[in-house]
Structures are given as C-alpha cells and as structure tokens.
Amino acid sequence: MVDGFFMQIPLRKAYRLLHPRPVVVIVSIGRDGRVNGCAVSWITPVNVDPPIIAFSLAPSRYTYRLLKESGEVTVNIMGFSNMEKTHYVGTVSGKDIGDKLGKAGFKLKPSKKIKAPGIADALAILECRVVKEIEFTDHNLVVAEVLHAEAKQRVFKNNIVSEDARPLLHVGGSIYTTVQRYHSIEEY
C-alpha cells in the first residue's frame, strides 16, 4: 500500500475534503411571523418518492430556533451572482440584526404550500416540512419532505441544473466557486 503521497488532514477540517458543495439559504419562520435565514452547504437528497432532503444546522442558529417553532423551511438554491449576499447571511446572526435577509438585499416571495417565504433572487426553491431530526454535538441533521419545488425557467433544463445557471458552490471559509463546464460520459 502506497501512502507516501498522502498527508494527514486535521479531523476538524476533514469535511472540507467533500467540498465544493452547493450553497443554499435556509429560510425559516417563527410562530409570530419572524423570518430569518442562513447559508448552508451541508445538504443532500435522501429519498426520491416522497422527496426527502437533509441538511445540517447548528442549534445555536436563530434560523434553527424559528425552524423548531414552525417545522417548515424553504431551501433556496443560490447562484454565483448572489455570493456576497449569501456569505453575509451565513456569517451574521439574525438575533442581532433583525431583518437579516432584507439587510443582505434579498427580496422575499410567498410560498405556495408553507408559511416560510422563499428568496426571489434564488435560482430555485424547495418548500419543506421537517419530518425528523438527529442530534449531534454541534450540528443537527434536519430531515425534511419537499412539498413544492420551483426553479427559474433558465435554471432547470433536461432534468438537471443548467450549466449556465452558475450555481454557487462553497469551497471553505469565505471561498466560493461555480460550475466551470459540464462533461458527459456514455451511460452503461
């Protein structure tokens, strides 16, 4: 076994070997109508029918607190053109700012199936109801059923996110990228 070419990675940074990852803004709403959002890149599909996704969110986040009150969120898939706004909502707390999404420059739009609004600037929006949660030490895994999905017309073509949609990908810290070029191979 050859390991002379490998270097040891600190375990606290090992997750970054799984990056770049898509960046979404999770928007939640409290019982009293308060809205907040935060940037998340730890997100994945879990099931097709019914459509289930999972994302990791720290319980210390204000967005998490509102999510616990309502049990619903929108998952807003962000484009590269919204990198600075997305980074802002991922680093500033709504507990201290108030209308963090508005201060970032995001415009909200009503959802079709839930009370939590979507972000009009997003490439696509998933409206979700939380169905399960798994607790860990610093983040919890939130499992949610997608009740409604929509995308801007130029974004979703031939059942994939279009290359020219330029989805925002998080590399680590304050470093972001986007899709450079798609490549296809023959199906087996």
Torsional class of 101: left (φ above 0), alpha (ψ -120 to 50), beta (otherwise):
alpha
Asked if residue 1 belongs to a domain, the reply is no
* Tens digit of each residue's pLDDT (9 = 90 or more) over 105-156: 999 999 999 999 999 999 999 999 999 999 999 999 999 999 999 999 999 9
Indicate the SS3 state at residue 136: coil
Q: What is the pLDDT of residue 187?
A: 82
DSSP assignment of 5-70 equals: T-----GGGGGGGG-SEE-EEEEEE-TTS-EEEEEE--EEEEETTTTEEEEEE-TTSHHHHHHHHH
Asked if residue 89 belongs to a domain, the reply is yes
Instruction: Answer whether residue 165 shows pLDDT above 70.
Output: yes
Q: What is the pLDDT of residue 3?
A: 66
- Mean pLDDT for 160-166 is 90
Report how many domains make up the chain: 1
d(CA 125, CA 47): 17
d(CA 155, CA 79): 10
pLDDT bracket for residue 163 (50, 70, 90) = confident
Asked if residue 102 belongs to a domain, the reply is no
Asked if residue 72 belongs to a domain, the reply is yes
Q: What is the pLDDT of residue 101?
A: 96
Asked if residue 3 belongs to a domain, the reply is no
Asked if residue 54 belongs to a domain, the reply is yes
Asked if residue 186 belongs to a domain, the reply is no
Q: What is the pLDDT of residue 183?
A: 85
Between 4 and 145, residue with greater pLDDT: 145
Establish how many alpha carbons lie within 13 A of residue 12's alpha carbon, considering only the half-sphere containing its beta carbon.
Answer: 1
Q: What is the pLDDT of residue 2?
A: 52
Asked if residue 63 belongs to a domain, the reply is yes
Between 116 and 180, residue with greater pLDDT: 116
pLDDT bracket for residue 96 (50, 70, 90) = confident
Between 80 and 93, residue with greater pLDDT: 80
- Decide: 107 and 119 in contact? Cβ < 8 Å: yes
CATH classification at residue 82: 2.30.110.10
Q: What is the pLDDT of residue 4?
A: 73
- Decide: 141 and 52 in contact? Cβ < 8 Å: no
pLDDT bracket for residue 95 (50, 70, 90) = confident
* Tens digit of each residue's pLDDT (9 = 90 or more) over 34-79: 999 999 999 999 999 999 999 999 999 999 999 999 999 999 999 9
What is the span of the domain harbouring residue 34? 20-97+126-178
Between 148 and 186, residue with greater pLDDT: 148
Indicate the SS3 state at residue 113: coil
Q: What is the pLDDT of residue 17?
A: 86
